[in-house]
């Protein structure tokens, strides 16, 4: 009986601990404090820059911002953010192809004649950890 109770206790503890990971994102090098920063966490290569797994918005103070994604399951992720200077909720583009607002990705991923690629921005979140990601615009 004691073995069964120990097993159930371990099972419940494992379920409670699942998804208790955090990803703290520090964004620096804003040109100004106007508008907000929009931050997207992506969990699948096929969804990168199209559909976020989680998203957050933050005010900018002293040309810096910090957001924290909580309860992130262990796995592979990438982050993209942009300075929404006019607070319209979208990344403004020139000629429909070139961003006119500053942006950045995890691992400093940059696009070359196109958007950044998943494999350049991806990082791993391990069980029970707080991951810190620094992005410079």
| Residue 49 vs residue 8, higher pLDDT | 49
Over the stretch 9-19, which tens digit does the pLDDT of each residue have?
444 444 444 55
Give the neighbor-by-neighbor strand order of the sheet with 21-28.
64-72, 21-28, 130-136
Tell me: pLDDT of 131 over 90.
Answer: yes
The burial of 14, by beta-carbon neighbours within 10 Å (0-12 exposed, 13-18 middle, 19 or more buried), is given as exposed
Tell me: pLDDT of 112 over 90.
Answer: no
What is the structure's pLDDT at 19? 53
Over the stretch 18-76, which tens digit does the pLDDT of each residue have?
558 999 999 999 999 999 999 999 999 999 999 999 999 999 999 999 999 999 999 99
Over the stretch 68-109, which tens digit does the pLDDT of each residue have?
999 999 999 999 999 999 999 999 999 988 899 999 999 999
What is the structure's pLDDT at 12? 44
How far is it, in rounded angstroms, from Cα 6 to Cα 28? 47
Contact 78, 106 (CB under 8 A): yes
């Amino acid at each position: 009986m004691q073995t069964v109770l120990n097993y159930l206790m371990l099972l419940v503890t494992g379920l409670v601990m699942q998804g208790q990971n955090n990803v703290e994102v520090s964004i620096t090098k804003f040109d100004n404090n106007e508008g907000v920063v929009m931050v997207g966490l992506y969990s699948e290569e096929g969804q990168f820059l199209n559909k976020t797994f989680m998203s957050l918005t933050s005010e900018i103070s002293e040309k810096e911002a910090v957001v924290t994604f909580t309860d992130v399951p262990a796995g592979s992720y990438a982050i993209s953010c942009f300075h929404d200077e006019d607070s319209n909720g979208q990344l403004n583009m020139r000629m429909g192809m070139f961003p006119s607002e500053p942006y950045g990705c995890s691992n400093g991923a940059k696009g070359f004649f196109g958007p950044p690629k998943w494999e350049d921005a991806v990082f791993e979140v391990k069980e029970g950890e707080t991951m810190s990601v620094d992005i410079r615009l």
